[in-house]
Amino acid sequence: MSTITTSDGAQIYFKDWGTGQPVVFSHGWPLSADAFEDQMFFLASQGYRCIAHDRRGHGRSSQPWDGNDLDTYADDLAALVKALNLRNAVHIGHSTGGGEVARYIGRHGTERVAKAVLIGAIPPLMLKTEANPGGTPIEAFDQLRAAVLADRSQFWKELSLPFYGYNRPGAKISEGVRDSFWLQGMMAGFPASYFCIKAFSETDLTEDLGRFDVPTLILHGDDDQIVPIGASAMLSFKLIKGATLKVYKGAPHGMCTTLKDQVNAELLAFLK
């Protein structure tokens, strides 16, 4: 297996396909690098080097108790970029991975970054606060924590429905996609499954977005039931200088899977 070891001893698994300009993928919670395989295979076939890692605590990476926070996730990403000596890289982040990309740029700058893409991403802040009245109330995240503690296997099965918009009338449900979501979720360790909820909901990434100085594409579905568009993409678009926003009508959170052909074409056009 391809892994790097971080400064605190965590082993981070990654897959590295193709040759050419590097495209680095950061996945969402509770998934793994496998969530981006449709994009990786397509872009690697188009002459790009596609790299995706399993975030610490997720997938095939170590399951440490500590470090399930966006600062550490961003530093792990920086360690991977440095270990592989990636330059002129395009960073693509989905959901929590979009927060990872934002914090990576906020903490490590854009010296090695050519472009950025945020898909269904959590920035600037998911949690409802006085300063962020459009956010999601803390009670919703407490419910996620309770569900993880109670029976996370069943919870992943149930979460796959709104994640892919399969709970909408007339939705064409793929039980295979649901099984893959469940499998990836069960590969995430219990600490990451639980602690990452605080990381993705309570981390304010407003200042990080202000440090973006590379071409940035924001993709978001207007029927995203996991990361509502109003408190995320619509605000990030205003905070990132010169960003391009594409709103996918009726698209769910898991649009990289349900609308993979459209997303793949969008990404290729942006890379070119």
Q: How confident is the model at residue 1 (pLDDT cuts 50, 70, 90)?
A: confident
Q: Which two tokens stand for residue 121?
A: 């991403």
Which of the residues are catalytic? 95, 224, 253
pTM, entire model:
0.97
| 57-116 tens-digit pLDDT | 999 999 999 999 999 999 999 999 999 999 999 999 999 999 999 999 999 999 999 999
Backbone angles phi, psi at 104, to 5 degrees: -60, -45
pLDDT of residue 98: 98
Element (H, E) at 267: helix 260-271
C-alpha span between 264 and 173 (Å, rounded) = 21
Q: Which two tokens stand for residue 223?
A: 């029927």
C-alpha span between 200 and 30 (Å, rounded) = 11
Instruction: Choose among 56, 73, 74: nearest CA to 3.
Output: 56
